Amino acid sequence: MLTRAHYLPAFSRLGGYDRALLDEAAWGGRRSRRMFEYWAHEASLLPLDLHPLLRWRMAEADRGERGWAGLRVFAGERRSEAMAVLDRIRAEGPLGASDFDEDRSRSGWWEWGDAKRRLEWLFWAGHITTTTRRNGFERVYDLTERVIPGAILALPTPSRADAHRQLVERAARAMGIATEGDLRDYFRTGVAETKQAIGELSEQGVLRPAMVDGWRQPAWLHRDAKAPRRIAARALLAPFDPLIWERARTERLFGFHYRIEIYTPAEKRRHGYYVLPLLLGDRLVARVDLKADRKASRLLVQSRHFEPGAPADTEGELADELAAMAQWLGLERVEARF
């Protein structure tokens, strides 16, 4: 493994930083907490002020209208089982799935037992949230009111339409320019709700219609988006980075076909197991399969591929970025294995 995926987007934007600061912001005490875990496009770390804007999603899950089929049963006929788990957390304090006998021998995404499913439904429905991560991975849950700062919980819950309007504006601000589908995917908002929000934001002048050469669909430009004279970015991007998460958008923006191959059999992989694209300026110019060998203090480059037409300085820029990543991870050297 290279490092936990949630650490990488901040490194891509800030360079070497103290990961303990992110841990404190995400899973620290109520006074120091700046983020919470919940479902955005996928499971995400989100700023606290988004909590009121996602309460409609929690309410839907509570009614059994959202979430995987294996979880929705706990909103209905098996609700009493989930409420018993909630009562246990209320009485005993924070618990993870491994604190329940039936789930102690299970591990992995596809090995969820009933206790884990009950916890995840309670999480979807907003009854509990993550208070910390055990061993850096396993979610440990507590009552939402004991984790989220009281000032955030006291904020009024906006109407569903207002929440969608604010979420779509957040998505547009983050993306700069985006199609309706892009805006919908950012927070996984519904088709009708997104259309309505775009229409209202357009009338208010927050979103402006735009056309992009080569795009089949019309686009929307946030009124605060600026076109810089030059872009001097250099970053290795995690497979789950918001910039490249939506693969069709990545291909439209950068002409870069990207698929994560973690679940692809080794002999069928084209580029590697955990591949990070390299952003240089306004282009994705290379991709590398990386792994941290902490025992030998090495950042292993298991494969490297340059894109057609990559600038002449790509190799040197990539080497510098790999060296910076190794230093950030506390590894002594970078070693090529291809």
Whether 225 and 208 have beta carbons less than 8 Å apart is answered as: no
SS3 238: coil
Q: Name the DSSP class of 49.
A: G
**Residue range 149-183, pLDDT digits in tens:** 999 999 999 999 999 999 999 999 999 999 999 99
pLDDT at residue 107, rounded to an integer: 52
**Average pLDDT for 214-218:** 92
pLDDT band at 302 (very low <50, low <70, confident <90, very high): very high
Does residue 104 register a pLDDT over 60?
A: no
Q: Averaging pLDDT over each range in 98-102, 125-129, 131-135, 262-266, which range is the top one? A: 125-129
Q: For residues 229 and 240, is the Cβ–Cβ distance under 8 A?
A: no
What's the average model confidence in pLDDT over 174-197?
96
Burial letters for 130-166: b for 16+ Cβ neighbours within 10 Å, e otherwise? bbbbeeeeebbbbbbeebbbeebeeeeeeeeeebbbb
Taking the whole predicted model, whether its pTM rises above 0.85 is answered as yes
pLDDT of res. 103: 52
Give the pLDDT of residue 30.
87
Model pLDDT for residues 52-94, shown as the tens digit of each residue: 999 999 999 999 998 888 899 999 999 999 999 999 999 999 9
Average pLDDT over residues 136-153: 93
Confidence of residue 111 (pLDDT cuts 50, 70, 90): low
DSSP state letters, 280-316: ETTEEEEEEEEEEETTTTEEEEEEEEEPTT--TTHHH
pLDDT-derived band at 189, boundaries 50, 70, 90:
very high
Mean pLDDT of the chain: 93
Can you give the pLDDT at residue 266? Answer: 87
pLDDT surpassing 90 at residue 338: no
What pLDDT does 80 receive?
Answer: 96
pLDDT in tens, 316-326: 999 999 999 99
233-287 confidence digits (pLDDT tens): 999 999 999 999 999 999 999 999 999 888 899 888 999 999 999 999 999 999 9
pLDDT of res. 109:
45
pLDDT number for residue 110: 47
pLDDT at 102: 62
pLDDT at 333 over 50: yes
8 A C-beta contact, residue 29 and residue 135: no
Q: Which candidate, 134, 129, 96, 97, places its Cα nearest to that of 113?
A: 97
The pLDDT assigned to 254 comes to 94
- For residue 42, the model assigns a pLDDT of 86
- Taking 80 as the threshold, does the pLDDT of residue 106 lie above it? no
